[in-house]
């Protein structure tokens, strides 16, 4: 019966329509919700116009000259794959702006010698500052990072007065150096202790200094009108490794830098970049518990790594072994890690043992870093570099005996090749990085 068939057909059609609707819903769902593509954040990006491409190529060439000087135009064209005419235009502009200079060094196949290009290291000077517990160092450097002059000041507990004073000192230092040399200071890099916000220079917590929520950046910015960049001192130690030590040629991409100065800090380099974490607070491994029932740390945690392996811990251990108390005898000048190392080298058994115990604790902590980060290299920096003959082997053997061979086989644990003031050099590198590249790491 036609009516019945129609009803049946209609009912089938309706069912089919429901299926289609459902399918469409599923299809829509899969497009809009199930398969959502990761959004790319373009907030801080601008389209590359003629000017930006020009700027990028200019910085690329300037940085290549800085890294490989002396270098010829032909070599620049080969390495950058830019046309020779483009290289000529850019290098002429850089010569005109006095960023580079040229000379004739090196022979060239018996024929005409190509003119080599060098960085004009006196185009600008840069200023680095390292705030550490006992003293703060200010240093002027050229564009190759060569230190030209230094000044010291006592680091004070009263944070606001100290940073106001430091700001005034930076202003005076940069003005004096400009009037003496005639060369402008391009910027200031400041190494601050503890957990810091690197864009503002706010110290969120530096417990070893007794500083909590200190607007260090604001105090400094009010005192002078120069570009200023901030970094945590341990991360700046790692940054100095990338700029001035072995890894500067890009041979090391994944390493951990460990410093025992003013507590225990680390700088993690992952794929050639300093790892900062979501809010700049990454790499505070000094506050990882080595012993859960250990002493209470200033951070609030118990048995933190830095309580056993920092320079302060080594000095305390030495003093305790000498006179049965952690306090130095009355009237004696406070001992430093430098003095303990010096005494160990002169044959002081207690000093040597204090350092060897530190080495064992360093090895324990580094074992955790190796399991967690699988670095190619662990680099120990600052003062302990001068005690590597006493501690190096103990650190390495402690790690080797605790991690499986597939971690240990290619792992190298070394001391830094930077013998003095790594964080200060890192602060200088921070300004250089902003001059020669578009990166602001760390």
Q: Is 198 helix (H, G, I), strand (E, B) or coil?
A: coil
CA dihedral 21→27→29→33, nearest 10 degrees, is -170
Q: How far is the CB of 287 from Zn ion (least distance, A)?
A: 4
**Cα–Cα dist 310/86, whole Å:** 53
> Counting beta carbons within 10 angstroms of the beta carbon of residue 294, is it exposed (0 to 12), middle (13 to 18) or buried (19 or more)?
middle
Q: Is 205 helix (H, G, I), strand (E, B) or coil?
A: strand
**Cα–Cα dist 297/148, whole Å:** 39
Write out the two tokens for 319.
């003093």
Q: How far is the CB of 216 from Zn ion (least distance, A)?
A: 21
Q: Is 137 in the site for Zn ion (CB under 5 A)?
A: no
By beta-carbon proximity to Zn ion, the closer residue of 301 and 414 is 301
How many Cβ atoms from other residues are within 10 Å of residue 217's Cβ?
22
CB-CB contact of 118 with 111 (8 Å): no
The span of 101-109, 143-151, 250-258, 304-312 binding Zn ion (CB under 5 A) equals 304-312
By beta-carbon proximity to Zn ion, the closer residue of 201 and 265 is 265
Write out the two tokens for 61.
């060439």
Q: Is 187 helix (H, G, I), strand (E, B) or coil?
A: strand
Q: How far is the CB of 205 from Zn ion (least distance, A)?
A: 11
Q: Which of 410, 416, 420 shows the shortest CA–CA distance to 379?
A: 416
> Counting beta carbons within 10 angstroms of the beta carbon of residue 376, is it exposed (0 to 12), middle (13 to 18) or buried (19 or more)?
middle
CB-CB contact of 95 with 89 (8 Å): no
Q: Is 301 in the site for Zn ion (CB under 5 A)?
A: yes
- Scanning residues 235 to 294, which ones bind Zn ion (CB under 5 A)? 287
By beta-carbon proximity to Zn ion, the closer residue of 123 and 287 is 287
By beta-carbon proximity to Zn ion, the closer residue of 186 and 298 is 298
By beta-carbon proximity to Zn ion, the closer residue of 228 and 313 is 313
The span of 46-54, 145-153, 303-311, 415-423 binding Zn ion (CB under 5 A) equals 303-311
How many Cβ atoms from other residues are within 10 Å of residue 12's Cβ?
10
Q: Which of 297, 359, 364, 391 binds Zn ion (CB under 5 A)?
A: 297
Q: How far is the CB of 309 from Zn ion (least distance, A)?
A: 12
Q: How far is the CB of 297 from Zn ion (least distance, A)?
A: 3
By beta-carbon proximity to Zn ion, the closer residue of 243 and 291 is 291
Q: How far is the CB of 267 from Zn ion (least distance, A)?
A: 18
The span of 22-30, 111-119, 140-148, 302-310 binding Zn ion (CB under 5 A) equals 302-310
Q: Is 299 in the site for Zn ion (CB under 5 A)?
A: yes
By beta-carbon proximity to Zn ion, the closer residue of 299 and 390 is 299
Q: Which of 94, 117, 304, 387 binds Zn ion (CB under 5 A)?
A: 304
Q: How far is the CB of 290 from Zn ion (least distance, A)?
A: 10
Q: How far is the CB of 300 from Zn ion (least distance, A)?
A: 7
Residue 127 parent element (H or E) = strand 125-131
The binding site for Zn ion (CB under 5 A) comprises 287, 297, 299, 301, 304
């Amino acid at each position: 019966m036609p009516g019945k068939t129609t009803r049946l057909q209609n009912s089938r059609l309706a069912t089919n329509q429901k299926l289609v609707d459902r399918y469409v819903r599923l299809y829509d769902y899969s497009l809009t919700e199930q398969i959502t593509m990761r959004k790319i954040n373009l907030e801080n990006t601008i389209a590359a116009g003629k000017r930006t491409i020009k700027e990028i190529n200019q910085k690329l060439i300037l940085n290549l000259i800085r890294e490989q000087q002396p270098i010829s135009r032909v070599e620049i064209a080969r390495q950058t794959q830019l046309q020779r005419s483009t290289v000529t235009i850019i290098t002429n502009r850089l010569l005109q702006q006095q960023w580079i200079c040229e000379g004739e060094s090196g022979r060239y196949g018996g024929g005409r010698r190509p003119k080599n290009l060098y960085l004009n290291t006196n185009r600008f000077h840069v200023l680095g500052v390292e705030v550490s517990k006992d003293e703060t160092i200010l240093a002027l450097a050229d564009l190759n990072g060569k230190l030209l002059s230094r000044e010291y000041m006592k680091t004070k507990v009263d944070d606001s007065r100290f940073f106001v004073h430091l700001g005034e000192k930076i202003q005076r230092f940069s003005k004096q150096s400009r009037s003496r040399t005639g060369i402008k200071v391009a910027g200031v890099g400041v190494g601050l202790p503890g957990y810091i916000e690197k864009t503002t220079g706010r110290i969120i917590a530096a417990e070893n200094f007794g500083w909590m929520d200190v607007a260090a950046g604001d105090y400094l910015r009010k005192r002078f009108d120069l570009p200023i960049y901030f970094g945590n001192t341990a991360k700046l130690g790692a940054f100095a490794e990338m700029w001035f030590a072995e890894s500067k040629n890009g041979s090391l991409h994944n390493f951990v830098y460990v410093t025992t100065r003013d507590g225990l800090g680390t700088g993690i380099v992952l794929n050639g970049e300093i790892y900062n974490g979501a809010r700049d607070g990454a790499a505070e491994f000094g506050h990882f518990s080595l012993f859960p029932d250990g002493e209470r740390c200033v951070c609030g945690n118990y048995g933190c790594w830095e309580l056993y392996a920092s320079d302060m811990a080594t000095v305390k251990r030495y003093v305790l072994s000498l006179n049965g108390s952690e306090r130095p005898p009355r009237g004696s000048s406070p001992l430093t890690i430098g003095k303990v190392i010096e005494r160990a080298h002169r044959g002081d058994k207690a000093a040597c043992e204090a350092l060897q115990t530190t080495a064992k604790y360093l090895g324990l902590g580094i074992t955790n870093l190796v399991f967690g980060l699988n670095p190619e290299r662990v680099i120990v920096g600052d003062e302990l570099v001068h005690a590597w003959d006493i501690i190096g082997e103990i650190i390495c053997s402690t790690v080797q005996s605790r991690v499986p061979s597939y971690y240990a086989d290619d792992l190298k644990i070394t001391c830094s090749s930077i013998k003095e003031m790594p964080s200060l050099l890192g602060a200088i590198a921070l300004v250089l990085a902003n001059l020669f590249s578009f990166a602001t790491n760390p």
